[in-house]
Structure 1
Amino acid sequence: MADKMKDQRKQEPPQSVLAKAITIGFVSGILWSTLGAISYYFSFSEVSAASFIFRSFWYTNWTSSLLAEILAVIIVSLFSMFVSLIYYVTLKRINGIWPGIVFGIALFAVIFFALNPIFSAVPAWNELTGDTYVTSVCLYILYGVFIGYSISYEYQEYNQHPAK
């Protein structure tokens, strides 16, 4: 079994941790913004990716469509690649759940407090419902933990088993 794993590692070209971090960012953007869109659809949240990306800047009927949600998820995934690079540069060496939780909460604060004036379709903090608070904070924490654990794991694995 161990020989099979070694053979598999020899066959696969090594991918840098940075490239994996970018891939992790894209995948996590798709996963968590899709879950955000689903929570918006089922009225757990008043905001979705399309609220930030499209409805804040264009007031047309198509921004409430499924196409707008899908395009917004793709755009968020592209931004998420940049966010994962920030995590990679700052926190990749720290193991555990807490760096991801703190990162997710910090990202939530930046988007919902600092950047809120840019997004006119997103209600102000004091106008959001309790369901939106809980859903959004939980999604951002899960997003941060997903990115944090994945990048830290890849970084630790790469440093324990250097490519030959």
Structure 2
Amino acid sequence: MGNSDQRLEQNKQEEPISVLSRSLLTGFVGGLLGGFFGVVLYYFNFSEVSPKSYLLRSWLTASWVDGWLGTVLSILMIGVISLLTAFIYFILFKKVNSLWMGIAYGAALWFIVFYVIQPIFPNIPSLGDLNANTIVSTICLYILYGTFIGYSISYDYTDTLHKLRSEEERNK
């Protein structure tokens, strides 16, 4: 009896993770990496804006916000917010398998964060008041983020379609 149970267990195929689930995971990981590198840019004075400035300091005045806990919580929050950006990319651009779409997506996200929604963050300087290092380094970070999200999602979508078509042809 034990031997047949093992064979049945071996014959079970794991349910594949959907492309959307992998895209959301990509978004979360991209957000964690982007948040981490945003903190690094701030720490080494490449940027005068830290992730904490946007997410926590705008609404909280507690002392823990300026410590390591605020940094870790900000990075995690960026990972969660990044789920939304990955979902939007998945819905709108998953079929566009090009680095340029990811670059454009990252630049568009930068414009939205630093120009469109900036007024709701009172402690962040306006775009005209930011120094050149901050502008250049954050644009580069957002472009890298957009490229990571965009190309990963598009590649995964295209690869999954290719595998499904190959499998269908083998089953004919």
Please show how residues 75-90 of structure 1 align to structure 2 within 5 Å: 75-90=77-92
Deviations 1:2-61 (A, max 9, x none): xxxxxxxx9553111000010000000001110000111111101111100111112333
State the distance in 1 between where 2:123 and 2:64 align.
15
AA in 1 matched with 2:102: G
State the distance in 1 between where 2:69 and 2:136 align.
26
**For the pair shown, which has the larger CA radius of gyration, 1 or 2?**
2
Q: Which residue of 2 aligns with 1:122?
A: 124
Q: Which residue of 1 aligns with 2:48?
A: 46
Misfit runs of 4+, over 4 Å: none
State the shift of 1:66 in Å: 1.4
Please show how residues 61-100 of structure 1 align to structure 2 within 5 Å: 61-100=63-102
Deviations 1:114-158 (A, max 9, x none): 110111121111111111001100000000000011000110111
Q: Which residue of 2 aligns with 1:147?
A: 149
Structure 1: which 5+ residue stretches go unaligned? 1-9
State the distance in 2 between where 1:115 and 1:12 align.
43
1:158 and 2:160 matched: yes
Alignment RMSD, CA only? 1.5
AA in 1 matched with 2:22: K
State the distance in 2 between where 1:22 and 1:158 align.
15
1:35 and 2:45 matched: no
State the distance in 2 between where 1:54 and 1:135 align.
21
Stretch moving more, 38-47 or 55-64: 55-64
What secondary structure sits across from 1:55 in the alignment? coil
Structure 1-normalised TM-score?
0.90
Identity %: 40
State the distance in 2 between where 1:94 and 1:67 align.
38
State the distance in 1 between where 2:128 and 2:61 align.
23
Q: Which residue of 2 aligns with 1:5?
A: none
What secondary structure sits across from 1:161 in the alignment? helix
Structure 2: which 5+ residue stretches go unaligned? 1-11
State the distance in 2 between where 1:96 and 1:55 align.
36
State the distance in 2 between where 1:32 and 1:114 align.
20
AA in 2 matched with 1:77: G
Asked if the contact 1:49–1:72 (Cα under 8 Å) also holds between the matched residues in 2, the reply is yes
State the distance in 1 between where 2:132 and 2:66 align.
23
Asked if the contact 1:26–1:78 (Cα under 8 Å) also holds between the matched residues in 2, the reply is yes
Q: Which residue of 2 aligns with 1:6?
A: none
